[in-house]
């Protein structure tokens, strides 16, 4: 490993893992940029003035993996990710860009994921959607392209062939909505945890949140660290949306924290399976 790269990794506050069985290395956590773009799309989204410095701070702290999507702020999120890379002269080979396609990008900022028949058909044109994302990002390639929703109406072979065409073209290179990060008494105090965002929160869920708080108090941790200690064991890297440098630091401070088998079982025993909501 080059000395400059070794020094950069050594000084990072984040850790890095391989994404599944791929050769792609990503940061832990991944910066989810749904909250970056244009507040005209959703009122809890941050605009350019706050978003660009936040992305730079994340990069400086070691979070070099950024996850966005074509529909986030109807393309504005991708635009700001590209602007940050360009404005702060971030080397392309030192940032990992993840984006998604499937939903239709609304022509007006206040319109979210227009899914009328015509738009549904257009949203499945993965090649053109991918090219549109590249244009907004001002990049030559994307490190990971994800299909935002499972498409039951298109033959799997057709979907995979379209993705394979993107690979051959060289344009691709290889927390429960925050409920587990704060006490129940704090729900509704942030825009994203407002009452309309809490639909589906069951009595069992409330019991789990209370157990997360109980374990956090017992261990002297933040609740988010209990949640991250549980999830980090089960995925390559969690995708987390951030609104401040303090939240980034809080997530990074969970590094190295683990739960015992008994503690994990204590958290899990109240869980009851749920129906899929949205694009989960």
The domain spans of the chain are 3-169, 177-234+258-268
Radius of gyration of the chain (CA): 19
pLDDT tens-digit profile of 170-220? 554 544 444 555 565 555 555 545 544 445 678 888 999 999 999 999 999
**What size, in residues, is the chain?**
280
**pLDDT score recorded for residue 177:** 43
**pLDDT score recorded for residue 126:** 60
| 270: its two tokens | 């109240």
> Across 122-126, 205-209, 219-223, which has the greatest mean pLDDT?
219-223
CA–CA gap between residue 241 and residue 101 (Å, rounded): 19
Residue 1 has pLDDT above 60, yes or no: no
**pLDDT score recorded for residue 273:** 80
Looking at the domain that runs over 3-169, which CATH code has it been given? 3.20.20.100
Residue 64 has pLDDT above 90, yes or no: yes
**pLDDT score recorded for residue 130:** 81
CA–CA gap between residue 174 and residue 144 (Å, rounded): 7
**pLDDT score recorded for residue 280:** 45
Strand pairing category for 25-28 and 15-18: antiparallel
Residue of 238, 174, 176 whose CA lies nearest to 14: 238
- As a whole number of Å, the end-to-end CA separation of the chain is 38
- Is residue 217 within 8 Å of residue 210, measured between CB atoms? no
| Selected catalytic residue, list 72, 88, 141, 271 | 72
Q: Measured between alpha carbons, how far is residue 80 from residues 36, 94, 150, 246 in Å?
A: 8, 17, 27, 21
DSSP state letter for 36: B
Average pLDDT of span 220-232: 96
- Asked about 72 being catalytic, the answer comes back as yes
- The residue with tokens 């969690």 is 238
Of 47-56, 89-98, 191-200, 254-263, the range with the lowest mean pLDDT is 191-200
Q: Which residues contact 141 (CB under 8 A, 6 or more apart)?
A: 134, 170, 171, 172, 173
Q: Where are the beta strands (DSSP E) in 88-167?
A: 96-101, 144-147
């Amino acid at each position: 490993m080059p000395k400059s790269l070794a020094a950069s990794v050594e000084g990072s506050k984040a850790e890095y893992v391989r994404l599944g069985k791929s050769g792609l290395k990503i940061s832990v956590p991944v910066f989810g940029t749904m909250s970056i773009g244009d507040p005209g799309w959703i009122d809890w989204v941050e605009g350019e003035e706050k978003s660009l410095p936040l992305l730079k701070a994340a990069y400086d702290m070691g979070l070099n993996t950024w996850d966005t999507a074509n529909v986030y702020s109807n393309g504005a999120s991708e635009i700001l990710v590209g602007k940050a890379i360009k404005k702060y002269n971030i080397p392309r080979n030192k940032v990992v860009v993840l984006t998604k396609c499937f939903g239709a990008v609304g022509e007006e900022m206040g319109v979210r994921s227009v899914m009328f028949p015509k738009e549904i058909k257009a949203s499945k044109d993965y090649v053109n959607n991918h090219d549109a994302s590249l244009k907004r990002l001002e990049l030559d390639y994307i490190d990971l392209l994800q299909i935002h929703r499972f498409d039951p109406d298109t033959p799997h072979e057709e979907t995979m062939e379209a993705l394979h065409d993107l690979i051959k073209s060289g344009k691709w290179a290889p927390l429960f909505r925050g409920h587990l990060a704060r006490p129940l008494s704090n729900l509704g105090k942030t825009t994203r945890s407002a009452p309309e965002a809490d639909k589906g929160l069951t009595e069992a869920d409330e019991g789990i949140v209370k157990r997360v708080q109980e374990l956090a108090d017992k261990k002297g941790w933040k609740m988010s660290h209990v949640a991250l200690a549980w999830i980090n064991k089960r995925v390559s890297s969690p995708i987390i949306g951030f609104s401040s440098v303090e939240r980034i630091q809080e997530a990074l401070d969970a590094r190295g924290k683990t739960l015992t088998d008994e503690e994990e079982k204590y958290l899990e025993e109240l869980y009851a399976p749920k129906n899929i909501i949205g694009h989960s």
